[in-house]
Structure 1
């Protein structure tokens, strides 16, 4: 699913990190655990007696002679020698004088960690940022369950995609194609999405996009709309997503029955494959964007006796994918762009490119492609009962997944137009409309999803079709 560039579209709610906390505090260690042995100061004997204070003269109240003169005796010195108590071998003395390397407790050269305290954003503003926290969360999430969910979603996408490629021929209707895709995804994931919450377990990652000719992105057939039949001279881009437990695979392809569009499709496919080749940990978006554009714009198409250069679309981009959110906070432009963003370990990216024979600048067209819940907008000011009821249905069945009007109608929701208008006007729900180039132009799209794993990248959606 295409993502608008920053100048065109706001990418998700603001996020910030909370107050950091102490991660671990070491308990008080006993003396024996730290290698210290108390009570071995020099001069202490084994019984704890004070040698310096032994055998004093007789008390003045005793042994006085009859003549009244006090018989004074000299203080006698003790003949005992002062003993030094040695610490057992491998333990520390007091005061400490034994090298750590000679202490038994440190024979493995493993020393105790100090108090672990997370960086406080108020103390170090640039260390633990919201972006870093999201990245670490994504990295921690990349476990066996994560990979299994993504691989299942990718296999569902491949099988449905291959079937659709066999029926996406002149004469087929857009409604038929959308139905085949959506029924296939729901059947293969095992979740029909009719019971409350079932569509959040697995199913469609976003509405099926079926874009003809100058429509670049975000068009889908709606109930009551004019039926559109694929023609021999049409260029059709098919873009749909599959999710399992919120892990979304996003992949797209373009078909054209007339071979005159061959170079247009080849240019965009080459650009997407270039992006996939360049993608990786620490890859810089500004560097990638220039290479992708160069690959795409090295092609030209001959239409109606005119040679037309293929242009990279400037108002769309690839994007990272978050759990239950098709558009993350990073973008992968395919027009040379100045950006300090880069790819990181644990990221999931949809590498997609759009090429056109038109101007290369998309504009919004009339109609509704789908709706998406905006988490960052407060619902406190929502007063209409119909809007509140509709919002609960959206939260229970789609969460932050983008959905089409027909998905609501499939659940049996009726008379939702007024409530939806209120949700959109308040910013709680965002409406997506078609994006188009100038009439008479043709746009093609190719896309795959790539996982940036710690030791490799996995193009999760790639199959034998390309």
Structure 2
């Protein structure tokens, strides 16, 4: 019986090993006939499948632009998410099964007891429901973060980027007012601006003006009771309390058709001619303005953050992903 030689160009060592195996199989086929031939074909097919698994691109593989590296597979594809993500994260996981973050031991030899302490492990089990909720939020954050990496490129307007990310966040978390939603406006770090900058409505530029126009606001938690004389200020304050509470917001959200939340304002609550009313609330200490945090003009700065939990037995970095 003729011995067929199989050639694999990718790895010469594997080629030599396969050739030796096939020579042995060929001699066995001469002695054993059809049984050995079937064994040979089965082994060859198995090797072909193994090779295909290492080279074939999966459904989540894509080439990232401007990276200079090979393709990568988005982490959320393994959970059944689409590309780009469109399925709400809560529908991808059962309650209590959201992915854990990176677990790290508490530093110091004096903390080693935390790993084996039955009392601390019991305390951790009692808080498992809370841990699952923050892991839910972290998974939404990771998927939106991956979505952003496919959008950010030279020439994009910051206002388009921010609105796309915030709408994707609302979609994946299934926005529901104070129960679920956006905790903070999208912050842009452009050149020397480190944080607390987001484009206002009508801002189509890609730079921050010299006078540091404010874009982030939040109702003061301990705001004083001040009689407001402007009707527009009273109306705006009522909208802020109903829609945002003490959570930060931006002027761009006030000008949305839903006023910042389609769940709370399903019939629409777009704010118009509110600038003087907002200034009056800031001047009276009811609303706090957060101007952009800037470095020296002409420099380049960036900001990286992680969210973590100090659990009784370890530290868990919730927002850790395969990108950073």
Q: TM-score, normalised by structure 1?
A: 0.38
Structure 1 residue ranges without an equivalent (≥5): 1-138, 192-197, 230-363
Structure that is richer in helix per residue: 2
Does the aligned pair in 2 maintain the 1:365–1:433 contact within 8 Å?
A: no
Does the aligned pair in 1 maintain the 2:196–2:292 contact within 8 Å?
A: yes
Where 1:159 maps in the other structure, the secondary structure is helix
Cα displacement (A) at 1:415: 1.4
1:209 aligns with 2:177: no
Match of 1:154 among 138, 143, 153: 138
Structure 2 residue ranges without an equivalent (≥5): 1-122, 260-269
Point out the structure with max Rg over C-alpha: 1
Structure that is richer in strand per residue: 1
Q: Please name the residue that 2:312 is paired with.
A: 454
Where 2:206 maps in the other structure, the secondary structure is coil
Q: Please name the residue that 2:204 is paired with.
A: 226
Does the aligned pair in 2 maintain the 1:182–1:208 contact within 8 Å?
A: yes
Cα displacement (A) at 1:188: 0.3
1:185-226 deviations in whole A, cap 9, x for unaligned? 0000111xxxxxx43121111110112111111111111223
| Count of residues in correspondence between the two structures | 187
Instruction: Find the aligned partners of 1:415 and 1:171 in 2 and give their Cα distance.
Output: 31
Computed over aligned residues only, the root mean square deviation of the Cα atoms, in angstroms, reads 2.1
Cα displacement (A) at 1:365: 5.0
Does the aligned pair in 1 maintain the 2:159–2:204 contact within 8 Å?
A: no
Does the aligned pair in 1 maintain the 2:197–2:214 contact within 8 Å?
A: yes
Instruction: Find the aligned partners of 1:375 and 1:428 in 2 and give their Cα distance.
Output: 9
Q: Please name the residue that 2:253 is paired with.
A: 407
Residues 33-182 of structure 1 mapped to structure 2, 5 A cutoff: 143-182=127-166
1:190 aligns with 2:139: no
Does the aligned pair in 2 maintain the 1:155–1:461 contact within 8 Å?
A: yes
Cα displacement (A) at 1:408: 1.1
Instruction: Find the aligned partners of 2:177 and 2:216 in 1 and give their Cα distance.
Output: 16
Cα displacement (A) at 1:171: 2.2
Does the aligned pair in 2 maintain the 1:173–1:227 contact within 8 Å?
A: yes
Does the aligned pair in 1 maintain the 2:158–2:204 contact within 8 Å?
A: no
Where 1:156 maps in the other structure, the secondary structure is helix
Q: Please name the residue that 1:390 is paired with.
A: 236
Q: TM-score, normalised by structure 2?
A: 0.54
1:369 aligns with 2:227: no
Instruction: Find the aligned partners of 2:289 and 2:154 in 1 and give their Cα distance.
Output: 31
